[in-house]
Structure 1
Amino acid sequence: MEEPLVPLVPMSHTAHIRSHRKPRSNASTMAMRAGVAGGILGSVAVAGASASAYAAEPVTQTIELPTLTADVASQVAQSADAMQQTAANYELQAERDAATAKAAEQAAADLKEAKAEAKKKAEAERRAAAERAASRAAERATLTSKSTSTSASASTSASAPASGSVATVVSFLKAQLGDAYVLGASGPNAWDCSSLMQAAYKQVGVDLPRVSQDQSTVGTDVSLSNLQVGDILYWGAKGSAYHVGTYIGNGQYLDAANPSKGVVIQDLSGYPATGAVRVL
């Protein structure tokens, strides 16, 4: 028996090209697709149920972590600023304390130096102060005044020098009239009171001490009512005299008075001497 003939179905003109062939579907592929679809739908259903459950539950607590963190940062910054300011204040106070201590030390040193300088000046001006006092009193009389001499000054007047030695001393002294007074100077154009006396009496071989205190202790003590030309007059206590001069007669004496007068002749009545000594 012959098999029946199967009619031939004409093929598409593109059927021989693989990409134009219609893919075949099989059972396994369809099953896989169905499973995937079912899984997706199940997940969607579960998610929907969960969302509904959470949506139904009320919120009872709110955590404000960002706000809390910002507050803490601000407090920390403020605390750091405060500590920095405190440290700066301590440092400034320390600098002020150091400056105060240094200023106190400097003030103490300055005071000590000032006291030493004052003491030195006082010592140097001790004799000069007494001579300035003598100068103020002597300014009331003129160098050539003789008419105002009292009887006391007349009794102390002496005759002309009795020896050449006295004349030599007086001559030397008058030759220095107008010279300057300089404390500590010893001639030839500037003197103080004691250096002038020393130089004058040295002309006749009498060696006097350098200072007025010692010159008041040499020779023989003489009463002021019994003066002779050439006697040495002194002002101040014997042994601590602050000024000396030479009596030249007629109630007058010659001395290196002070910086404003220099070597001059003055009236004894204007500033009476304390005592006198005789060395000639």
Structure 2
Amino acid sequence: MSHTAHIPSHRKPRRNAPKTALRAGVASGVLSTIAVAGAAGTAQAEPVTQTIEMPTITADLSTAVAASAEATQQVAQDMQTQAQEDAAAATAAKSAKKAKAEAVRKAEAKEKAEAAAKAKAEAEAKAQAAERASRTEARTTPSSTSGSNAATAVSTSSSSSSSSATGSAASIVAFVKAQVGDAYVSGGTGPNSWDCSGLVQAAYSSVGVDLPRVSQAQSTAGTQVSLSNLQPGDILYWGGAGSAYHVGIYVGGGEFVGAQNSSTGVVQRPLSYDPPSGAVRVL
């Protein structure tokens, strides 16, 4: 027997296998839990890594925002440009409308002026026709005592005045006689068509004497003379002195030459054919 046999053993009794397995399982579970926790901890650490990468994400976002702002600004510019173009188009349309209205107004004014001119011409033509009719009536039927007195004076003049002209008077008489047969045209001054005052003016111009153009002024261009004391070359007038409506030239022998009207033209007639109202002597 060993000398230690009597000494109690201090070794711990062996644990049985089930308990050992249990403990091992528990330990393994603990370690597994720690491992899972560690893994979880590692998994939870990843957001920290993403947080570190946020500046890159923020930079991309800033770029996108800047691009969006630029696009918005471009849209605003486009809208402003469109608004300016629309305003310019509206202004142009307004100007065109105004120009059209002005053109229409001018056209209407022109039409009115032409109508007024036509009416005036017609009125003048009627007045001339009335004057011619009045002279014709006076030739056939004296209408007043003054007309009879004028005819008497003319008759006396034709018998007492000289029928021969000399000097400038002869040239004037020759000139007007040369135009007998020419046409009467209102406003005519020759060489083949005349009105009454145009013929008288041209006759005196042929000897270097300037006369007014119209009959009213020609009826006061010289010295008033009596119809009983006429001389060749005297200017005869019909109507009042200063308001005469017709003139002619006394050519002697009790006759005159004048551009009467569009029906007769320039004629030579006796004074009794159309007795004048008065006469003026220029030479």
Q: Report which stretch shifted further, 202-211 or 152-161.
A: 152-161
Aligned partner of residue 221 in structure 1, secondary structure: strand
Deviation of 1:113 (Å): 8.6
Counting aligned pairs with the same residue, the percent is 60
Q: What are the residue-to-residue correspondences of 1:213-224 with 2, within 5 Å?
A: 213-224=216-227
TM-score normalised per structure 1? 0.52
Q: What are the residue-to-residue correspondences of 1:18-167 with 2, within 5 Å?
A: 117-135=118-136, 137-138=138-139, 153-156=155-158, 157-167=160-170
Q: Flag the 1:191–1:135 CA change in 2: closer, same or farther, 3 A.
A: farther
Write the deviation string for residues 46-92 of structure 1: whole angstroms up to 9, x where unpaired: xxxxxxxxxxxxxxxxxxxxxxxxxxxxxxxxxxxxxxxxxxxxxxx
Q: Flag the 1:182–1:195 CA change in 2: closer, same or farther, 3 A.
A: same
The answer to whether the Cα contact below 8 Å between 2:154 and 2:275 also exists between their aligned partners in 1 is: no
Opposite residue 215 of structure 2, the aligned amino acid is S
Aligned partner of residue 257 in structure 1, secondary structure: strand
**Residue aligning to 1:106:** none
Deviation of 1:162 (Å): 4.7
The answer to whether the Cα contact below 8 Å between 1:132 and 1:258 also exists between their aligned partners in 2 is: no
Deviation of 1:154 (Å): 3.5
Q: Flag the 1:215–1:128 CA change in 2: closer, same or farther, 3 A.
A: farther
Q: Report which stretch shifted further, 121-130 or 227-236.
A: 121-130
**Residue aligning to 1:101:** none
Structure 1 unaligned blocks of 5 or more: 1-109, 141-148
Q: 2-side partners of 1:262 and 1:139: how far apart? A: 19
Q: Flag the 1:193–1:152 CA change in 2: closer, same or farther, 3 A.
A: closer
Coordinate RMSD, CA, aligned: 2.8
Q: Flag the 1:162–1:270 CA change in 2: closer, same or farther, 3 A.
A: closer
Q: 2-side partners of 1:172 and 1:162: how far apart? A: 12
**Residue aligning to 2:248:** 245
Q: 2-side partners of 1:170 and 1:116: how far apart? A: 37
Opposite residue 181 of structure 2, the aligned amino acid is G
Opposite residue 127 of structure 2, the aligned amino acid is R
Q: Flag the 1:269–1:237 CA change in 2: closer, same or farther, 3 A.
A: same
1:185 aligns with 2:185: no
Q: Flag the 1:170–1:118 CA change in 2: closer, same or farther, 3 A.
A: same
Structure 2 unaligned blocks of 5 or more: 1-110, 142-150
Q: 1-side partners of 2:154 and 2:258: how far apart? A: 21
Is the helix fraction higher in 1 or 2? 2
Q: 1-side partners of 2:278 and 2:261: how far apart? A: 20
Aligned partner of residue 276 in structure 2, secondary structure: coil
Q: 2-side partners of 1:277 and 1:236: how far apart? A: 13
Aligned partner of residue 208 in structure 1, secondary structure: coil
Q: Report which stretch shifted further, 151-160 or 200-209.
A: 151-160
